[in-house]
């Protein structure tokens, strides 16, 4: 793996996006609470062991950066060896066992957020579809850091699910 193993600083583009407010609007918005920094390696491992019920796993393949209102985590999944953190997929692991790939990488994640879709809403969209609610501030962030990647959230989520369709099964195999 690259230097992402030890580096717990947010990429500049992620920090810019997470500095924007996320409005839940009584259930009609984005249910996302970003953290100020990545969760520590030890805390991530403790959480992942508890979440899976498997004391033999570690959380080393995740960089947790936010959560939804129920305590589900949004994270980078370090599955692309030798690639930078911003090139890793974004995933969601819910408090009730929901799992899903949100975005293929940080650039796609910026545009998903810009379309008014958070990590939980992205995996919920697998079954319910996407309600686009463009956010001007997050669109400005996405245009600044990933102008060439602009696409609707539904398209980007579909591409992520296509590329990383085995994520749910892989996580399920780790659960006890």
Which tens digit of pLDDT belongs to each residue from 35-72? 999 999 999 999 999 999 999 999 999 999 999 988 99
Q: In the chain, what are the domain boundaries? A: 3-167
User: 146 vs 14, 101, 139, CA distance in Å?
Assistant: 11, 19, 10
Percentage of the chain exceeding pLDDT 70? 92
pTM: 0.92
**pLDDT tens profile 130-147:** 778 899 999 999 999 999
For 21, 101, 147, the CA distances from 160, given in Å and listed in that order, are 25, 6, 18
Paired residues of 100 in beta bridges = 92
Tokens of 131: 């309600």
Helix (H, G, I), strand (E, B) or coil at 95: coil
């Amino acid at each position: 793996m690259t230097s992402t193993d030890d580096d717990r600083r947010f990429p500049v583009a992620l920090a810019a996006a997470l500095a924007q407010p996320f409005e839940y609007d009584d259930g009609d918005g984005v249910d996302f609470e970003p953290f100020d920094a990545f969760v520590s390696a030890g805390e991530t491992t403790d959480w992942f062991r508890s979440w899976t019920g498997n004391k033999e796993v570690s959380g080393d393949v995740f960089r947790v950066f936010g959560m939804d209102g129920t305590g589900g985590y949004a994270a980078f999944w370090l599955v692309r060896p030798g690639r930078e953190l911003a090139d890793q997929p974004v995933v969601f692991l819910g408090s009730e066992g929901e799992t899903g790939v949100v975005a293929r990488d940080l650039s796609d994640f910026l545009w998903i957020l810009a379309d008014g879709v958070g990590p939980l809403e992205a995996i919920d969209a697998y079954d319910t579809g996407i309600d686009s609610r463009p956010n001007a501030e997050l669109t400005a962030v996405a245009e600044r850091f990933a102008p060439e990647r602009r696409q609707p959230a539904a398209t980007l989520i579909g591409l992520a699910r296509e590329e990383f369709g085995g994520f749910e099964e892989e996580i399920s195999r780790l659960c006890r």
